[in-house]
A and B are shown apart, each in its own frame.
Chain A
Amino acid sequence: MAGVQLAEVGKAYGAVTVIERLSLDIPAGEFMVFLGPSGCGKSTLLRMIAGLETIDGGTIRIGERRVDTLPPGERGVAMVFQHYALYPHLSVRENMAFGLRNLRVPAAEIAARIAAAAASLEIEALLERKPGQLSGGQRQRVAIARAIVKQPELFLLDEPLSNLDAALRVRTRLELAQLHRRLGTTMIFVTHDQVEAMTLADRIVVLNAGGIEQVGTPMEIYLRPRTQFVATFVGSPRINLLPVAIEEGPAGSARARLGDGTMLDTAIRFAGLPQGAMTLGLRAETVCVTAGDDAATHGTAEVVERLGERTLVHTLLSDGSRLVAEDAGVSAVRPGDRIGLTIDAAAAHLFDATGLGHHRAETA
């Protein structure tokens, strides 16, 4: 078990910079998730740690060792690939033994490690089969088992769940979390799926255009997004963003005036906010449909999405802006209905013109 330190690591393909002088410290035993949209550099970063991509500058350390000058096989890492990358002509047992043989592990120990990993992932019955005879889920388990038998200092997982169907993805996600708890080994998991990131991670690194937008625990990322990009990328449905004018409200807080004239007293301190137009961020769960007279504003329901446990109401405000509000699972709202909305302004976020987020003061 070892931590990972990236210091000023960069990567460019010709004139295109993929990773821009990035530094990151991952403590030993942490489950770290690299989250970001396609092309943000998250897989490249993982491959740089694995040694499958060279780095143009900086250093990579795993534990106490500097590894960026070492070939992949000497870095003490194991990787699970998106497309499994099992050796098709070898049996499951031989797939698992291949790396150990290269490391000159004694045959008896190889057999013992394979037996233990196979038992752990419940693939004993598959050991003599070839990868082509396995289902997608079974192949993924074998790929994980192949990584486990190496007893690496660091696991790297490159979108390992993306080829599985929805039900299997949920199950495998749970098993990965259990596996991490059992092994205690540092894991870096790459995904563009925020649900995977939120459910698995000890901490998330949100990447965008080759740089780090934010590093934090899932709830830090969700509740206190450092930038507007993070706020929009994390959370489903997408955070509501509305242009607002800001003025000082009661007790030094910022008061936001929406386009339709609605005034919202946020819990964000007015002092220190930049002058000029800002963007208000409201999660859907902080905007609720109400039939009472406590509505902060009103709008017209355009689309109603019934998800079972809740209903999402896409609403058009009088100034033409739109937001998504929540209602109970069993909701009477229908498209075209005029509805009232309550807004939990204390949970609102503000983003300035540079995209930087401003949030309520942290409570102890």
Chain B
Amino acid sequence: MTRSRLATGLVILAAVLMLVPLLWVLALSLKDNAELMTDTASVFNGRFTLENYRNLFGNGDVFRWIANSLIVSFGMTAGVLMLASLAGYGFARLEFPGRNLLFVVVLLGLAVPEQAVIIARHQMFSWLGMHNSYPALILPGLSAPFGVFLMTQYFRAIPRDIDEAALLDGASRFTIFWKLLLPLTIPAQATLGIFTFLSAWNDYWWPLISATNKDMFTLTVGIASTQMNFAQTEGLGFLMAQAVFAGAPMLIVYLFFQKYIVQAVAGAAGR
């Protein structure tokens, strides 16, 4: 009983520690910039304003950037789910020469940091004339070794009896994949989809390099481009409004899909 209370207390403490910075950012975003310049503790004195959000939405480009972020994030998520599922099925179920070696090569991709390939990637897209396009923003993200690994492990965990029963039921390989196995991987798909979406939504570096045209900015790049000099002193409230705006979708995604995220983390630990 005492241990249970102690655990509950610790969990509440951890939750508060996690929540305080978020509430602080939200509170700052609702304050006048000039007021914050004198003292950030003014957060605790009434007088809140939506001025920073009005300024943010007053910039007509924001909606264009949101649309770009949505297109890139959904496009990357759909692509990763499709490719990782097919690759995972292949590695888990199909026998072909060099399968294990190829799987190791894919996994090695996990060890290659983006920084190591960014110049080569930039030059390749430049040579192809693809910068400032959706494919340029989406395609690099489709290389998802973690996704392939996750899906491979998930497919491997599905008993082969299912495939064999389906073969005896006269099902083709594609029918088995599409109608029987893929639906069983929905928890993994949800997890991978959420992680991919969040990482695409948050991505800053590659869009910053590839999207030089304001119309092709994603939200992260676009919002950063609106920041004035000395933003952290003169425009702290506006900066925080931008942070809230950029972070809100992630929060919403997490609220709706937390079950799958927790499952994924627990599952990854268990494997």
A contacts, CB < 8 Å to B? 50-52, 71-74, 77-79, 81, 83-89, 98-99, 102-103, 150
Q: How far is A77 from B171 in the complex, measured between Cα atoms in Å?
A: 14
Which 5 pairs of residues, A with B, have the shortest CB-CB distance? A73-B170, A99-B169, A85-B161, A102-B170, A85-B165
Nearest to A77 among chain B residues (CB) is B168
> Which A residues are CB-close (under 8 A) to B184?
88-89
Nearest to A104 among chain B residues (CB) is B170
* B162 contact from A78, A87, A102, Cβ within 8 A: A87
Nearest to B158 among chain A residues (CB) is A88
> Which B residues are CB-close (under 8 A) to A81?
161, 164-165
Q: How far is the CB of B30 from chain A (nearest CB, A)?
A: 46
Across the interface, do B164 and A52 meet the contact criterion of CB distance under 8 Å?
yes
Q: List 30 A-B contacts (CB under 8 A).
A: A50-B164, A50-B168, A51-B167, A52-B164, A52-B168, A72-B167, A73-B168, A73-B170, A74-B170, A78-B168, A79-B164, A81-B161, A81-B165, A83-B161, A84-B161, A85-B165, A86-B165, A87-B166, A87-B180, A88-B184, A89-B180, A89-B183, A89-B184, A98-B166, A98-B171, A99-B168, A99-B169, A99-B171, A102-B169, A102-B175
> Which A residues are CB-close (under 8 A) to B166?
87, 98
Q: How far is A71 from B164 in the complex, measured between Cα atoms in Å?
A: 11
Is B159 an interface residue when CB atoms closer than 8 A count as contact?
yes
Q: How far is A52 from B161 in the complex, measured between Cα atoms in Å?
A: 10
**Contacts A87-B180, A88-B184, A89-B184; A103 near B170 (Cβ below 8 A):** yes
Nearest to A103 among chain B residues (CB) is B170
Majority DSSP secondary structure for residues of A touching B:
loop
Sorting the interface of chain B by its residue count into under 10, 10 to 19, 20 to 34 or 35 or more gives: 10 to 19
> Which A residues are CB-close (under 8 A) to B171?
73, 98-99, 102
> Which A residues are CB-close (under 8 A) to B168?
50-52, 72-73, 77-79, 99
Q: How far is A300 from B167 in the complex, measured between Cα atoms in Å?
A: 59
Across the interface, do B180 and A73 meet the contact criterion of CB distance under 8 Å?
no
CB-based A-B contact count at 8 angstroms: 56
Across the interface, do B164 and A85 meet the contact criterion of CB distance under 8 Å?
yes
Q: How far is A73 from B163 in the complex, measured between Cα atoms in Å?
A: 12
Nearest to B180 among chain A residues (CB) is A87
B contacts, CB < 8 Å to A? 159, 161-162, 164-171, 175, 180, 183-184
Across the interface, do A85 and B159 meet the contact criterion of CB distance under 8 Å?
yes
- Extra contacts, 4 of them, besides A84-B161, A102-B169 (Cβ < 8 A), are A73-B168, A81-B164, A89-B180, A99-B171
Q: How far is A87 from B164 in the complex, measured between Cα atoms in Å?
A: 11
Q: How far is A22 from B130 in the complex, measured between Cα atoms in Å?
A: 64
Q: How far is A99 from B171 in the complex, measured between Cα atoms in Å?
A: 7
> Which A residues are CB-close (under 8 A) to B161?
81, 83-85
> Which A residues are CB-close (under 8 A) to B165?
79, 81, 85-87
Q: How far is A14 from B169 in the complex, measured between Cα atoms in Å?
A: 29
Across the interface, do A73 and B169 meet the contact criterion of CB distance under 8 Å?
yes
Q: How far is A295 from B159 in the complex, measured between Cα atoms in Å?
A: 58
> Which A residues are CB-close (under 8 A) to B159?
83, 85
* A99 contact from B162, B164, B170, B183, Cβ within 8 A: B170
Q: How far is A149 from B29 in the complex, measured between Cα atoms in Å?
A: 65
Q: How far is the CB of B265 from chain A (nearest CB, A)?
A: 23
> Which A residues are CB-close (under 8 A) to B170?
73-74, 99, 102-103
Q: How far is A84 from B165 in the complex, measured between Cα atoms in Å?
A: 9
> Which B residues are CB-close (under 8 A) to A87?
162, 165-166, 180
> Which B residues are CB-close (under 8 A) to A74?
170
Q: How far is the CB of A187 from chain B (nearest CB, A)?
A: 15
> Which A residues are CB-close (under 8 A) to B162?
85, 87-88
**Contacts A85-B159, A89-B184; A73 near B164 (Cβ below 8 A):** no
Nearest to A53 among chain B residues (CB) is B164
Q: How far is the CB of A247 from chain B (nearest CB, A)?
A: 56
Nearest to A83 among chain B residues (CB) is B161
Across the interface, do B169 and A52 meet the contact criterion of CB distance under 8 Å?
no
Q: How far is A78 from B166 in the complex, measured between Cα atoms in Å?
A: 11
Nearest to B179 among chain A residues (CB) is A98
Most buried by A among B168, B170, B184: B168
Most buried by A among B161, B165, B180: B165
Q: How far is A190 from B164 in the complex, measured between Cα atoms in Å?
A: 17
Q: How far is A50 from B168 in the complex, measured between Cα atoms in Å?
A: 8
**Contacts A81-B161, A85-B159, A87-B180; A73 near B167 (Cβ below 8 A):** yes
Q: How far is the CB of A52 from chain B (nearest CB, A)?
A: 5
Most buried by A among B159, B162, B169, B183: B169
Nearest to B175 among chain A residues (CB) is A102
Q: How far is A51 from B167 in the complex, measured between Cα atoms in Å?
A: 9
